[in-house]
Structure 1
Amino acid sequence: MPDAAALADVQAVVAALAGLRLPATNLTEAEVVAAVEARLLEAGLRFRREVSFGPRCRADLWRGGIVIEAKRAFADRTALLRQLSRYALQPSVRGLVAVAEAGLPAPGRLAGKPLACVALHRAWGIAV
């Protein structure tokens, strides 16, 4: 069972990203990450970029043990779930937030840690 503080931290990141609107096409992953960074900063949430926290584990953004992983276009659900599962097994990870246009794993838990997904299509009025 995830601890209440980790769940609250994941929910704070998701709330900060609510309504994030990006152009619908031709985004690089760096542009998606930059937009996520801007929303987190607007919400007053501190984070670090490109944090290595285990073998083959590097978070796009790291907020006190919360991994924020951004993908451009449609994420390969299987590959993303495999990546997030590897991350969730690291002791320093408290929770995970995945951000992509669509194709995300269902929110819930991985390795007992909270997982939330932010699908950018929802902000465009398209729920996929």
Structure 2
Amino acid sequence: MDGPRRDITREGVTAIDATWQHKISRNGDTSTIALSGELDMSVSDRLSQVLIDEVNRPGAITVQADIADVDFIDSTVINAFIDAFRVAKSHGHAFVVTRARGHVNTVLAVSGVLSALSNPPVPAR
């Protein structure tokens, strides 16, 4: 497969490739990007673009990255999360990582970013 396949659904955009998937759903000014699979340096540039595009989307005040179905992350993915957090904050908005579990939760905690990414300041409305 050349690059991720995009399927448009009623809930948002789904992208699928061999190691990871994302689905964007929107409810008012909150966007949720449900991520699944293994997130590492091979997908971090694409992931970063997905996160930043949604943070910059007009009307998106809060963007949540739901990572309950993510099995693996590395430091490049943590950097993508931090970049999205910073861009959101620069707009007075929020980016939050939700439902981290297992290895992923441990990696975020040990790297020292779990608290900041899980509990951002309330966005200005």
TM-score of the aligned structures, taking structure 2 as reference length:
0.45
Work out which structure has the larger RCO, using CA pairs closer than 8 Å and 6 or more positions apart in sequence: 1
Higher strand proportion: 2
